[in-house]
Chain A
Amino acid sequence: MTDPMIAVEGLRKSFGRTTVLRGVDLTVRRGEIFALLGPNGAGKTTTVNILTTLVQPDGGTATIAGADVVHDAAQVRRSIALTGQYASVDAFQTGEENLVMMADLAHLPRRTVRRRAHELLDRFDLTDAARRPVGTYSGGMRRRLDLAISLVAGPAVLVLDEPTTGLDPASRSQLWDVVRRLAADGTTILLTTQYLEEADRLADTIAVLADGQIAARGTAAQLKALVAGDHVRVAFDDAASLAAARSLGHEGIEGIDRAESDDKELALTFPSAEPVRAIRQVLDLAEARGLAVAGVSVVKPTLDDVFLALTASPASPATPTTNALAGSTTSEALR
């Protein structure tokens, strides 16, 4: 299977006079974890709602495993499962009852319904709580049940809309493990998130959605390279050394002319294409001049930097075209 599991082209959607999606293109391979990253209001949930047949697009096409979300919605519903922003499980039913209900709604053979429910309870470590009303579950347990419910029919594509919002760090990393295992077993996963760390840690491919368009896409590393390269940071023992280092001039060290100094931390930071070479040069120089170096490090850009650079909204609202141009240039650069 080389065909993409999710293929989206030129997706557009407006609600009244508000344009939410301005032409979104996405391709997600089978077994891939694809993160749609964006701030609130960027159009993440609208994209998810269109892909899961809840909302009809105004223009463009979207297919899931080859089935069109508009013309073949019934087929799409057979291959997807959605875990929404809220854990949509019934508080008044037990975990087991919730799962059995969803297995019934997935039309599993009646005799296998209960077995399937128990399998999933076991897999998500909920067997002990199976007969308790979900109202008594913790936030993490609810999310696990929510995910278990999504897997009842063994969907080919799992859509997770901000799956870890409101979870504590332990539950979050537990959920990440589950998602990774699912992808390893061949499930295609599309997740939306506003947490950069989540996209960074989990996703094979990240698309940054800003103002209804994909502003950039690539691996976490590619995206980081897009915004800024590595920086070298040199910390000194005393202010005199920092001052001396600052007045050095170029000395053949590339990028040091663009150095920024931090007087409080007694550190000098400058961009560098070859950080290892730059560090060696700095240390040699420091030894020759008798500067007291406390430490050196290579500073990698974080996804935060990427995110802020790509989604920074222009001060004036009249620049959607400029944004669009910037968006297509950056994504072009990654192809």
Chain B
Amino acid sequence: MTTTTATPRTATDPTRGPAPVRAVAPLRDIGTMARREARRTLRSVDGLITAFVLPVMVMLVFVVIFGGAIQQDGGYIDYVVPGVLVMCLGMGSATAAVAVAQDMASGTIDRFRTLPIFGPSTLWGHVIASVVRNLASAVVVIGVALALGFRPDAGPGDWIAFTGFAVLAVLTFTWLSAALGLVLSVEAAQSVNFIFLFIPYMSSGFVPVETMPEWLHGFATHQPFTPIIETMRGLLAGSADGGTVTTALAWLLGVLLVSVVAGGVLYRRRTAR
């Protein structure tokens, strides 16, 4: 290995690179991986549509088309924004499943695993990029909602709590998606976003649970999206309910823990071939 001397040895012996500065550099690795994911999003038309156009479309459909029929005084927007937000954060996070599955299939993750890098940095790259991307799309959704007449009663403290809660939700959704991406084929990974598209419909996100058929009440009340959406609704209305928040946090932290552990183990064990 070339040591740092004044002679430009690399010019005559191009097979040898400069010696690595440090054996272990987890922060640098995570930063490099996050940059990679940011590029992937910014350069994919699909990714940009999923991140920014789709959530706005969903909200327009609910508020403009269905909203009048559901609640004729126009107040439906205040009810539906948390549901749309959770759906949009979930679907935005689910793109990590496809990206990870593609990296597995292409052998890219195998190559990363042969490098002397901080092991989980690949997955952390997805997670960090996902948090940034989803917060940006949440800002866009809330902006459009405000333009459509959304009037939250949240105070500054509520907004801070809301932001923290949204970050936790994205962390959980992304880790879950990334872990699934490690075991699913690219095609199967593409359907991970159905989890975040359809299960929220069967929650209190879009219509109150009481208006659903009796047999759905049990599932709708106790499935995780209901407390998660109710927590956001409460924080935006400035009147969060402690019990609901606790249930939501328990779900998110529980799924997050399982996903991080499973993702870490799978990342070390799985190979493309």
Chain A residues near B (Cβ < 8 Å): 45, 49, 52-55, 74, 77-78, 80-82, 84-86, 88-90, 92-93, 97, 101-110, 112, 115-116, 119-120, 123, 133, 151-154, 182, 185-187
The stretch among B15-23, B176-184, B198-206, B257-265 that forms the contact with chain A is B15-23
Residues A108 and B18 in contact in the complex (CB < 8 Å), given A80-B114, A92-B44: yes
Q: How large is the interface on B (under 10, 10 to 19, 20 to 34, 35 or more residues)?
A: 35 or more
What are 8 residue pairs bridging A and B, where the CB atoms are less than 8 Å apart in the complex?
A: A49-B271, A54-B114, A77-B114, A82-B114, A88-B108, A101-B35, A104-B29, A108-B18
User: Taking the complex as formed, is B113 at the interface, i.e. its CB lies under 8 A from any CB of chain A?
Assistant: yes
Pair B114/A52 contact, Cβ less than 8 Å: yes
Pair B111/A84 contact, Cβ less than 8 Å: yes
B31 (CB) vs chain A CBs: closest residue: A104
Pair B21/A116 contact, Cβ less than 8 Å: no
Measured CB to CB, the closest approach of chain A to B112, in angstroms, equals 7
Contact of B116 among A55, A107, A154 (CB under 8 A): A107
Chain B stretch 79-135: residues in CB contact (< 8 A) with chain A = 106-108, 110-117
Measured CB to CB, the closest approach of chain A to B25, in angstroms, equals 5
Best-buried of B17, B21, B36, B39 by chain A (most CB within 10 Å): B17
Residues A82 and B111 in contact in the complex (CB < 8 Å), given A104-B28, A105-B32, A107-B116: yes
A-B pairs, top 8 by smallest CB distance, nearest first, are A154-B16, A154-B17, A84-B107, A107-B20, A88-B107, A77-B116, A104-B32, A185-B15
Pair A54/B110 contact, Cβ less than 8 Å: yes
Pair A154/B22 contact, Cβ less than 8 Å: no
Q: Which residues of B contact A185 (CB under 8 A)?
A: 13, 15
Q: Which residues of B contact A82 (CB under 8 A)?
A: 110-111, 114
In the docked arrangement, what's the CA distance between A153 and B55, Å? 43
Q: Which residues of A contact B115 (CB under 8 A)?
A: 77, 102, 105-106
Best-buried of B2, B116, B272 by chain A (most CB within 10 Å): B116
Pair A55/B271 contact, Cβ less than 8 Å: yes
Measured CB to CB, the closest approach of chain B to A162, in angstroms, equals 11
Residues A108 and B21 in contact in the complex (CB < 8 Å), given A88-B108, A90-B108, A182-B15: yes
Contact of A101 among B1, B22, B36, B114 (CB under 8 A): B36
Pair A186/B271 contact, Cβ less than 8 Å: no
Contact of B15 among A80, A86, A88, A186 (CB under 8 A): A186
User: Taking the complex as formed, is B222 at the interface, i.e. its CB lies under 8 A from any CB of chain A?
Assistant: no
Residues A90 and B36 in contact in the complex (CB < 8 Å), given A84-B111, A107-B22: yes
In the docked arrangement, what's the CA distance between A110 and B13, Å? 20
Contact of B17 among A77, A84, A104, A151 (CB under 8 A): A151
Q: Which residues of B contact A74 (CB under 8 A)?
A: 23, 116
Measured CB to CB, the closest approach of chain A to B246, in angstroms, equals 41
Chain B stretch 17-66: residues in CB contact (< 8 A) with chain A = 17-18, 20-23, 25, 28-29, 32, 35-36, 39-40, 43-44
In the docked arrangement, what's the CA distance between A14 and B11, Å? 45
B273 (CB) vs chain A CBs: closest residue: A45
- 7 extra interchain contacts, Cβ-Cβ under 8 A, other than A81-B114, A82-B110? A77-B114, A106-B115, A107-B117, A119-B11, A133-B43, A154-B17, A185-B15
Measured CB to CB, the closest approach of chain A to B67, in angstroms, equals 38
Residues A88 and B36 in contact in the complex (CB < 8 Å), given A107-B22, A108-B21, A116-B18: no
User: Taking the complex as formed, is B10 at the interface, i.e. its CB lies under 8 A from any CB of chain A?
Assistant: yes
Best-buried of B1, B23, B111 by chain A (most CB within 10 Å): B111
Pair A84/B110 contact, Cβ less than 8 Å: yes
Best-buried of A97, A103, A120, A153 by chain B (most CB within 10 Å): A153
User: Taking the complex as formed, is B243 at the interface, i.e. its CB lies under 8 A from any CB of chain A?
Assistant: no
Q: Which residues of A contact B112 (CB under 8 A)?
A: 105
Residues A154 and B108 in contact in the complex (CB < 8 Å), given A54-B113, A108-B17, A119-B14: no
Measured CB to CB, the closest approach of chain A to B199, in angstroms, equals 30
Best-buried of A84, A92, A107 by chain B (most CB within 10 Å): A107
Q: Which residues of A contact B20 (CB under 8 A)?
A: 78, 106-109, 153
Pair B110/A92 contact, Cβ less than 8 Å: no
In the docked arrangement, what's the CA distance between A112 and B43, Å? 27
Pair A88/B110 contact, Cβ less than 8 Å: yes
Pair A53/B108 contact, Cβ less than 8 Å: no
Q: Which residues of A contact B35 (CB under 8 A)?
A: 101
